[in-house]
A and B are shown apart, each in its own frame.
Chain A
Amino acid sequence: MPPAKYQIVTAIVVTIIVLLLAGFFILILVAYINQRKKKHLEEKSVMESLFNQTLLQTQLEIQEQTLKTISQEIHDNIGQVLSLAKLNLNTIDMTNPGKLLEKINDSKQLVSKAIQDLRDLSKSLNTDNIVSIGLQRAIEYELDMINKAGGHETKLEINGDIVRVDSQKELIIFRIMQELLNNIIKHAGARLIKVQAIYLSNELELIVTDDGQGFDLELLNRNDKNENGSGLGIRNMHNRAKLIGADLNFNSITGQGTTVKLKLPLNS
């Protein structure tokens, strides 16, 4: 039998083996890609769980902050005003009509102020409010409260067209902003607090600047909780920003104030 025939048959057999190996390779590849898909889905599930956990924690912290603010307002402000009104009424001299009318008018004004303060307090921020009024108004309100408390001058600048982002992201951003403002009030010794919101087509940039005493960023990173052991450390704020795809940057020089920038991509 001519060797050529054997060669042809060998070629046929080799071709079949090659095709079978190709089939085997396809199956290995399919199994490998499927396993990677499983790993990816597991990681995604863990991240979603972490995100939900963080969101819940954020909501709780906002609630806690709201209660603290309310308690402080009642103690420092409304309580004092009502005490003063009571004092006025206790010291009324019924025999002196002129003074009597003055005291009653003073007491009326004090009670009106207490009522107004209570009304303002009732609009205090909780998570549902923040979701309904939006991030911008929520920050505005927060700055307003700081202004009213006295001791700080606040400014809010908005550039570009305001765009609402996902409500969960707004909650987390608000919590970060709230904590930044709290830190400025407690530690910075600043007079002016400026918040800029810059809306670009693909990005939201929030810049918080103060003219306080600044701090050593490296030193603070080592002790990343405040003196009461509560609130968000800088690392925590970074982690939360990262969770929503945002970038948080601290810039501070001792004696020259602090600037904090938060950048959130808008199409993520």
Chain B
Amino acid sequence: MLKSLFNTTVIAEYCTFIASIFLLRRKATIWRLFIPLLFITISTETIGWSVAYFLKKNNQWIFNVNLLINVCFSIWLFSKAEPLKNVKKVLNTAMALFMGFGLCNLIFIQGFWKYNTITDVLSSIILAIISCYFFITVLKEEAFRNLFTYEYFWFANGILFYSLGSVVLYIFLDYLGDFYKETKINVYGYINYGLNVLFYGSLVIAFVCRQRNTK
């Protein structure tokens, strides 16, 4: 029973959540918000699984809401990065517009009961662009910054990989769903697991860097 809950993605999320509790101390400041965010994420997984497994009901609405929260948090965190302080207003505006579109999609277009793939694809594109812009800005800075010990680099790294991988995945989500029903080959699952491992792995490294930089 629990095997269906504790897939690779959920295990990665739990590990990251535990890492955040140990690594993100008081001096980590805004990064400590990852603790409640990851708690919300693992709660979403657990509640979503419970709704589907026990109540046999549609659980997509929980993941749709969680998607909006996660993406808005990611954009907001990028706006706090020093290299991107000049475009803070642009990022905050993008976050507000994305939230607006996300809610519209949730209420009027794809609805609560279908996974909001349009929102997911759009968020992947936005986050990939922000990550690339972040890298360009860091390179253009006059002072040298050791990227391998910079928490925002690893955060952007994880976001970039996840966004690039998931764009195509969610465009063809329905197709891959049908493919799974016919062949029992969980292409979506395997790719999603890999992307999540990359993302959460980068996030843990970011937490380690944050802890070292704020000692």
Contact = CB atoms under 8 A, between A and B. Distances in A.
Interface of A: 1, 5, 8-9, 12-13, 15-16, 19-20, 22-24, 26-27, 30-31, 33-34, 37-38, 41
A41 to B, nearest CB: 5
Contact of A22 (B138, B157, B164): B164
19 contacts: A1-B182, A9-B175, A9-B176, A9-B179, A9-B187, A12-B168, A15-B168, A16-B169, A19-B164, A19-B167, A23-B160, A23-B165, A24-B161, A26-B135, A26-B160, A30-B135, A31-B147, A34-B139, A38-B144
Main secondary structure of the interface of B (DSSP, over half): helix
Interface string B146-170: 0110000000010011001101110
A34 B83 CA distance: 14
A67 to B, nearest CB: 42
B40 interface: no
Most A C-beta atoms less than 10 A away, residue of B139, B164, B169: B164
B10 to A, nearest CB: 21
7 closest A-B pairs by CB: A19-B164, A23-B164, A38-B144, A30-B135, A15-B168, A16-B168, A41-B144
Contacts of A20: 161, 164-165
B15 interface: no
A5 B179 contact: yes
A12 B187 contact: yes
A20 B192 CA distance: 13
Contact of B191 (A13, A27, A30, A33): A13
A16 B147 contact: no
A31 B150 CA distance: 12
Nearest to B150: A34
Nearest to B185: A9
B145 interface: yes
Contacts of A26: 132, 135, 160
A30 B183 contact: no
A19 B139 contact: no
Nearest to A13: B187
Contacts of B182: 1, 5
Contacts of B148: 31
Given A9-B176, A38-B144, 10 more contacts: A1-B183, A8-B175, A12-B172, A23-B160, A26-B135, A27-B157, A30-B138, A31-B147, A33-B139, A34-B139
Nearest to A22: B164
